[in-house]
Amino acid sequence: MKVLIIEDEQFAQDELKRLLAETSFDVEIIDCFESIEETVEWYEDNEDPDLIFMDIQLSDGLSFEIFQQTAVSCPIVFTTAFENYAIRAFKVNSIDYLLKPIEKDDLEAALKKYADLNDNKSEEEEGSVALSIDQVQQLLKLSDEQRDYKKRFIIKSGDRLRHVSVEDIAYFYAEDDYTYLVSKEGAKFIISFKLDELVKQLDPSDFFRLSRKYIANIHSIKLVNKYFNSRLEVILQPETKDQILISRVRVPEFLNWLEK
């Protein structure tokens, strides 16, 4: 059984590997990825594995977005630390889910479900486990409706505390192991969150992870230029010292976000 793991937390990734090795099934882990972007790039040159274990919240967004960018036809076992996702919806087309922290018995049961499905699958049923676009859109919609996004950030300045509303934030960026919040007026503050954490706490209709270093509010995007190799260059306001490029595989996702 060839398995692909899509999980952005190293501890959770290692724990799943350990548990898979302890099951009664012969499991070969062919690769592990932390993001939507890495997964889509892998699919450009590789065929479906037998089974995918997929975290819902990844470093660059919700994993459901993978299905909008590439064709995934194998069974999926979703993993999540949050019960507020539309868990029942994950049951469609023999897709299962595991709630973190994953229990060995639950993992064993999920693998048995896959094995039973594979044994009973006829040629006509081949590919029936794939999510339709309508189902993906519904999962994204239900997930967004049930999430409680961050509304403000506490900023420390000496012995004083102040808050900044997300509406007043232009973008976040990472540099030298620090994360900075930049307001629409150009004020810059160090915050205690990493970008991987922020992307899970910010409303994706307002904020987009442009690159590994930048998360931007849609209202801070001043200009978008076509760039070499089908990429896009994004100019932010207030101005940044870095050039910000959208990778080729993420261009459709970015353009779709701009039009929402």
Angle at 131 between CA 130 and CA 135, to 5 degrees: 165
Enter the pTM of the model: 0.55
Q: State mean pLDDT over 11-31.
A: 94
Q: What is each CA distance from 41 to 66, 77, 195, 246, 249, in whole angstroms?
A: 10, 20, 21, 14, 7
Query: By C-alpha distance, which of 43, 61, 76 is closest to 204?
Result: 61
pLDDT tens per residue, range 22-63? 999 999 999 999 999 999 999 999 999 999 999 888 878 878
Residue ranges and CATH numbers for the domains of the chain are 2-146 (3.40.50.2300), 152-259 (2.40.50.1020)
Q: Are 35 and 65 in contact (CB under 8 A)?
A: no
Place 5 in a pLDDT band, splitting at 50, 70 and 90: very high
Rounded CA separation 200/59 (Å): 8
